[in-house]
Structure 1
Amino acid sequence: MALESLSEHAEAQLAEIELLLSMFPSQDELEVEPVAYAELRAYVEGTADCPPDTRPELCIKIRTHTGYVGSLARCGESSRAQHTRLVAGLRSHLCESCTGEVCVLSAVDWLRDHTHEYLELDTAANGTKAIEAVETLSAETFTRLWIYSHHIYNKSKRKNILEWAKELQLTGFSMPGKPGVVCVEGLQAACEEFWARVKVLTWKRIMIRHREDVPLDLTTQSDSSLRRFDGFDETAFDPHGSRGNHMDLGQLFQFLSERGCSQIFQLYFGVEGR
């Protein structure tokens, strides 16, 4: 493989891993082999001349109502036969849809959608309780996603963000410009659907900077009691700059503070707001 192709492939690998780390900030959900990850980062950033000998190994854990299930490494939650079928199904999916491409995100999406099917195959025979489908779990979880983009200028994307949030009954806000900020909150399934649509648009850089997940007791609690925003709107804060694409971040901090979200400012920008 040419050096330029090696570099581009390494950059694509690192970008996907960093996106996954933003989506799964807890080691209870995602484990990355640290040495190979550090070597990959060093090569991409130019502090190492040679690409790493091995690719970073990932362990993605899919959450069920009984806990976390290791999807790529067999654990006590899955039998050997279940694990074998799961890996075979994943390989078949990747052969059909990801030939020659970096496709970690596609693999994760497939695992989220199909892991429970393979874990449920043997439940009738062994008498154990069937694991609930991912969609059922999502319906009982309130989620808030804090999304960061290098910039949000495009009118079509801005329209999509507004329309999709309202279609999925999500509340929050979108701040266009550079950088771009989007917050959506509501039932987990709706938030995941919103992110699935947004992330495949063409972006210079976009990621989930932070996420909040709160299990709901549907008998005593509704998702509306946890919402910090009324409706979903595009919000601007004194646009300025030659293109009118920079916002007053002090006003953004005030906006977040009024809704009990002031801590998010430092997560986005690395400094305390004021």
Structure 2
Amino acid sequence: MTQTETNLLENLQLQLEELESLQAMFYNPGEIKIEDAGVFFEIKEFVAGKLNVVPPRLGYVVNLLIEGKKFEMCVSLSHDYPFVKPEIFLRSHLLNKVQHVELNKKIGEFLTGLPEGEPCIFTIISWLQDNAHDYCTLEKLENSNESYQEQDDKVLARYWIYSHHIYSKTKRKALTELAHQLNINGFVLPGKPGIICVEGNACDVNEWWQTVKSMNWKRIFCKVTESNKEETKSTNFLKFHGFVEKVFENHGPKYNHMNMGEFFKYLDEHQLAYIFKDLFGVEARSS
């Protein structure tokens, strides 16, 4: 067994042990929900030496009741965890968009300060139990943003975001839910690289981006920004209706064989073909 294989085995063993500890503490039905029971089984089989194929990454949701509010803490672990930070996203239907943005931003900052190499999910839960109340009372912050909202309401923006990769089901779900919550349009293209387009009112698009970039990424950046600063809204600027996940003739579980021709066609259908070169540095080949 190579050193890499040994490290993977040890990491997955630690992940299972941490999850089992959490299940012992949160034993009521529904408190912990594993994203894919089949993946969980494969990881256990791999750790036990009964499976030779590397299993997909582990994901689960911890449902918490804090200050009378229900929180969902979505957890996604790469094969390198705990030596790489977990992907965490908090949500609650009782929180407004400002509260969601601020809480998830703070979780990202808290994660950055934690030591590497140590399981940290329980630490994050403890922090949330101690601090969530501060982010459930941000009405003043929301009110203070009303004037900014009014000023920026007529400005439309479109962000083109480039990520090293987007595989995690938990993260993809978080991207979509946050977009729906903020009423912005666009798409996420999972795979390697991952491409995201978001458009809508400039303040909402910026809020979405500030929250998303605070999540744990290997590399993510906003590559192109566009805006329409006319005095009145122009529906011609907005090219999408709603926010969706798009996959073009993927092969394999990691969406790593995207059909670039189909992606270009999708952009062209939305009058956005010009952006292809800006994203990838090459002209698209016509089919």
TM-score by length of 2: 0.47
TM-score by length of 1: 0.49
